Structure 1
Amino acid sequence: MSLTKEALQHIEASHKTGTEAAEGHALIVGDNFKLVDMEKYQDQRRRFRGQFRTKGLKDFISYVAGRKSEAPVFIDRDAMAACSYLDIGIPERPGHCDHSATLNLPKTPEFTAYLHADGSTFDQEEMVELVEDWGHLLEFENSKGEPLERTKVIHAFRKVSLEDLTNIESEKQEHSSRVGVMNSVTVKNAERLPAVIYWKLTPYEGLTERTLAMRVSSKTKGGPSFGLRAIALDAAKEEIAAEFAALVTDGLPESECLLGTFQP
């Protein structure tokens, strides 16, 4: 093994001539027998190493396909992520797994807003802001299944009010009497409010657009407010994850694509 000037200077600085190890790729130097990697003093690395991380589906596919590696691709459907250790090797000749490509597909802002709204309660002002911010994606339907216009929906949320109804029942008998008071609070003009909101959105970058439904319920305690709940969200997530896995698999026909994660 020929040594560069920098390598010789490093050895001299150790005050002791080194003993070669690891087939000449390292030296044992000093009284404490310190092992020094000589790779940084050589013209080239011993092997290619690096970690490619991306949020782009097409970029991940392009990078993995461009390396022409036989390494498997591991697809984590729950995390909407994929990873390939391009120098993993084979069981008979395992690699170091120093060269990897990782994809973490990000949620779109509109899908993040949808998930945030799910299970949340909004007052009148917050509900109006939600419809104004994302109205270009939304369609509305009342309890009868009839479509509602966005501008009228915004107006209905702004003008919503509560009606307090009190009903007194009185019953008198010969030896007893009973008075019952029933109190109920209802939302006036509820038919003008949407019962279901449909979000038309792309959940993750690179995936297809889909429509997700959200049910609206009115709450009367402490003033008018509205609860939102996603409809069949778990089923939609399964469909989204299946589409993601299919896109990675179809984009890398030469690679073995496996569902799961791998820890080297």
Structure 2
Amino acid sequence: MSLSKEALQLIVDQALVAAGKSLDTSTPTVLVPDSATVVDLERYQAHRNRFRGTYTTHSLADYTAYVVERSAPAARGFIDQDNMSCIVLFNLGTPDQPGHADDRAMLRLKASAAFAAVQAVCGQSLAQKTLSDWIEDWHQHLTATDENGASMSIAKAIAAVRTITVKASSESDHAVSETRASRSTMDQIEASSKETLPAWLDFKVIPFEGLGEQVIRLRVSVITSGSQPVLKLRWIGEEAQREDIAQEFKSVLQDKIGSNAVLSLGGFDPK
């Protein structure tokens, strides 16, 4: 009795499935036919094979409490200071006994409303009303100082911004000789206010939940190149202050997590 090609292939496949022949490779592999299917029976069990999942939050307090509660041997955390975030892998394992790295906790700090507001306004070209409204909205965070370093009330700072006027004047020089005549004109544009304009605004803010208060100094500038005055706020020492905030983030995390996870600066991709 002769067998068809399909029947012979089925017999070979069944033999391979039964034998499950292992191959001599660095990574464990086994020879199975294309028609074989691996079925994970975990979903049919009363419990999962192991605990795994990802916890995410914006709350530093809740995050550190969770990491301490889920304390595991060889847990590792990686801090991204640029994005003010952290990931802790509870089952990363060791080089000798690597884990699946799928039991993790992720924190991404969310800027407070006040910190988001000051970041949004810095460096922008602002009309008088826009800036005066912004100062009025956030007056509880602000103190104003004039060019001489004297304190001024926020009410006066708002009034000064609202009453800025631009004055333009021209000055001409004429020179005449036997052989030539020359003329030069210089235009002067000056911004002034009925009230003393603030030179600096100090913005007190807690940038992220769980961190300390920061004082952001804003330099007030008036630009008179257009028909209407434009104002800008420049964050003095922005890069250095952002670095200080990031360093504080790492210190607070380390203090609260303690020995429950080893923290490192940088990122990690558990492929």
* TM-score by shorter chain over 0.5: yes
SS at match of 1:36: coil
Q: Does 1:261 align with 2:267?
A: yes
2:222 aligned to 214, 218, 223, which one? Answer: 218
**SS of alignment partner, residue 206 of structure 1:** coil
Paired-residue identity, %: 32
Q: Identify which range, 235-244 or 109-118, moves more after superposition.
A: 109-118
Query: SS at 2:140's partner residue?
Result: helix
Distance 1:58 1:160 in 2: 46
3-state SS of the aligned residue for 1:253? helix
1:82 to 82, 86, 107: 86
Q: Secondary structure at the match of 2:35?
A: coil
Whole-Å separation in 1 of the counterparts to 2:154 and 2:147: 16
What amino acid is the match of 1:243?
E
Match among 44, 51, 56 for residue 53 of structure 1: 56
The structure 1 residue matched to 2:148, chosen from 144, 150, 153, is: 144
Q: CA RMSD in A?
A: 2.0
- Name the SS for the 1:204 alignment partner: coil
Give the distance between the partners of 2:191 and 2:34, measured in 1 at CA. 85
Does residue 174 of the first structure (1) align with residue 178 of the second (2)? yes
CA distance in 2 between partners of 1:20 and 1:249 (Å) = 52
* 1:199 aligned partner: 203
Output the amino acid matched with 2:97.
Answer: R
Q: Specify every segment of 5 or more residues in structure 2 that has no aligned partner in the other structure, as ranges.
A: 1-16, 21-32
Q: Does 2:49 align with 1:43?
A: no
**In 1: Cα distance, 2:193 partner to 2:141 partner:** 25
The structure in which a higher percent of residues are strand is 1
How far residue 190 of structure 1 moved from its aligned partner, in angstroms, is: 8.0
AA in 1 matched with 2:47: Q
Give runs of aligned pairs for residues 1-264 of structure 1, distance below 5 A: 32-70=35-73, 71-189=75-193, 192-222=196-226, 223-254=228-259, 255-264=261-270
CA displacement at 1:68 relative to structure 2? 2.0
TM-score by length of 2: 0.84
Q: CA deviation at 1:31?
A: 8.7
**CA distance in 1: counterparts of 2:192 and 2:107, whole angstroms:** 50
TM-score scaled by length of structure 1: 0.86
Q: How far apart are the structure 2 equivalents of 1:175 and 1:63?
A: 90
User: 1:69 & 1:58 partners in 2: Cα distance?
Assistant: 19
Measure how far apart 1:173 and its partner are: 2.1
1:113-150 deviation per Cα after TM superposition (whole angstroms, max 9, x unaligned): 11112211101111111111111111111111111211
Cα distance between partner residues in 2 of 1:161 and 1:172: 37
Gaps of 5+ in 1: 1-17, 22-29
Distance 2:192 2:86 in 1: 51
How far did residue 175 of structure 1 move?
2.4
CA offsets 1:213-234 (integer angstroms, 9 cap, x no match): 1111111122111011110000
Provide closer, same or farther for how the CA distance between residues 20 and 263 of structure 1 changes in structure 2, counting only shifts above 3 A.
farther
Cα pair 2:60 2:109 within 8 Å, conserved: yes
166-175 or 212-221, which deviates more: 166-175
Structure 1 consecutive aligned stretches of length 4 or more whose deviation exceeds 4 Å: 18-21
Shift of 1:43: 1.2
